[in-house]
Amino acid sequence: MIKKFVIAIVYCATCIIYSQNGTVSPYSFGIGDLKAAGTVENQSMGGVAIYADSIHINLRNPAAYSKLSLTTYTAGLTRKESRLKTFDDQENASVSNLEYLAIGLPLGKGFGLGFGLMPYSSVGYNSVTQGVNAEGASLTYSASGEGGLNRLYTSLGYEVFKDFSIGATMNFNFGTLNNERVQTVEGVQFGTLDRRESRVNGFDFNYAANYTPKISEKYRLFTSVSVNTQMNLVSENTRTIGSFSLSTGADVEVINVNLQAQGLKSTEIKVPTTTTLGLGIGEDKKWFVGAEYSLQGLSSFENEFLNRNNVDYNDASTFGFGGFYVPDYSSFTSYFKRVTYRAGAKLTKSGLVINDKEINNFGITFGVGLPLGGSFSNLNIGFELGRRGTTDADLVEESYLKMNLGLSLNDRWFQKRKIN
């Protein structure tokens, strides 16, 4: 089974790297629409990532690797159905993606290692605006983009003393962002175009600490703090401008812009630090409920090469609330008593401001964890119903249903063989 899983990792990793349609959101310009980052288990609880156990990988909290007692493989798939609505029009869209591939290894008591690959952001928008120029002719302006960033990560978690763990993750982010702006005028044979490509890479680090003491014979307190450091990305840019034929679509006269002379050939993109605090309570192997609050100083963010005139940034924040319930994890008589039931909600103030309107997102989540056979492996199914944006100020309201499927497989490595 291990060989088959490794082959699947190689194949699916290739799909991630070369995929260009990770989203259909009108708000995915710049470095793109940021992915959820957590496993299906976390996403089904409003994104809350405080909880850690011995058989599940926690992608957002590296301190959780200290709890692993079994080698764990995990993969996640998602499908998103969206309804994009303006003041006077509506359109439906859908997209499917591989969310993550990861492996977690216990290296000894209280010490764990993890590594994997996942998309970090996706660009996938296509907007059209109609207007009239100074001469009274109809003018059409369109903007489109595709691509995104992927992430390779390595994590270490260590239990310093009983119930107190620390961890760190190193992320390498890489990918290509393609953006095109086109303008046509009624009665004019040729249109104008502006194509921009950015090849981006860079590192960031995530540090976390968990303290989970018993507060009574049955109940445990869960506390967590994590800091995802500023992401320093280097963007190598190219830009072409020119005209094209409206009848054939072929380029007519296109030139490469000398970005070196403008100081834009190589630019920096700095994604500000995110700090997350978490608090929860629960009973081991029975139930858990918790909340997380994240704050990011996004008002300092800028992308000099791909800036837009009507876009500003405020500080961003996310509040998530959720939990799980297992009726009886050791039941021999009822399969459904061993099922994990999850639910939650989240509110995200993205910090993105377009036409003086902040783009916020609210979603409710729920799901189940289904045990597989007599092992610790499980199949996790999750759903998210949400709404982002607004129809005010000529913007788009995005209502969506997100369906997640995650597989968590457990195995035993580094065991000495015994011969009787």
Q: Is 285 a member of any domain?
A: yes
What's the confidence (pLDDT) of residue 25?
85
What's the confidence (pLDDT) of residue 417?
45
pLDDT in tens, 236-257: 999 999 999 888 888 888 999 9
Q: What residues contact residue 248 under an 8 Å CB cut-off, 6+ apart?
A: none
CB 200 within 8 A of CB 218: no
Q: Is 242 a member of any domain?
A: no
Q: How far is 51 from 284, CA to CA, in rounded Å?
A: 10
pLDDT band (50, 70, 90) for residue 420 = very low
Q: Is 70 a member of any domain?
A: yes
What CATH number did the domain enclosing 54 receive? 2.40.160.60
Only one residue has tokens 């088959």, namely: 4
pLDDT in tens, 5-40: 445 554 555 555 444 466 788 888 888 888 878 999
What's the confidence (pLDDT) of residue 186?
84
What's the confidence (pLDDT) of residue 412?
58
Q: How far is 61 from 49, CA to CA, in rounded Å?
A: 6
pLDDT band (50, 70, 90) for residue 413 = very low
Threshold 0.85, pTM exceeds: yes
Q: Is 380 a member of any domain?
A: yes
- The CA-atom distances, in angstroms, between 13 and each of 34, 59, 124, 330 are 18, 17, 20, 36
CB 117 within 8 A of CB 152: yes
- The CA-atom distances, in angstroms, between 344 and each of 12, 47, 213, 286 are 29, 8, 24, 17
Q: Which of 113, 111, 202 is nearest to 155 (CA)?
A: 113
More confident residue, 154 or 250: 154
Average pLDDT over residues 57-62: 95
Give the structural domain span for 300.
2-116+146-173+198-233+270-411
Q: Is 245 a member of any domain?
A: no
What's the confidence (pLDDT) of residue 4?
53
Domain count, the chain: 1
Locate 208 and state its tokens.
């976390």
pLDDT in tens, 31-51: 888 887 899 999 999 999 999
What's the confidence (pLDDT) of residue 415?
45
Q: Residue 248 gets which letter from DSSP? A: T
Max Cα distance, the chain (Å): 93
Q: Is 163 a member of any domain?
A: yes
Q: What residues contact residue 372 under an 8 Å CB cut-off, 6+ apart?
A: 378, 379
Q: How far is 182 from 73, CA to CA, in rounded Å?
A: 45
| Amino acid at site 158 | Y
Q: Is 180 a member of any domain?
A: no
Coil, helix or strand at residue 31: coil
Q: Is 122 a member of any domain?
A: no
pLDDT in tens, 321-377: 999 999 998 888 899 999 999 999 999 999 999 989 999 999 999 999 999 977 789
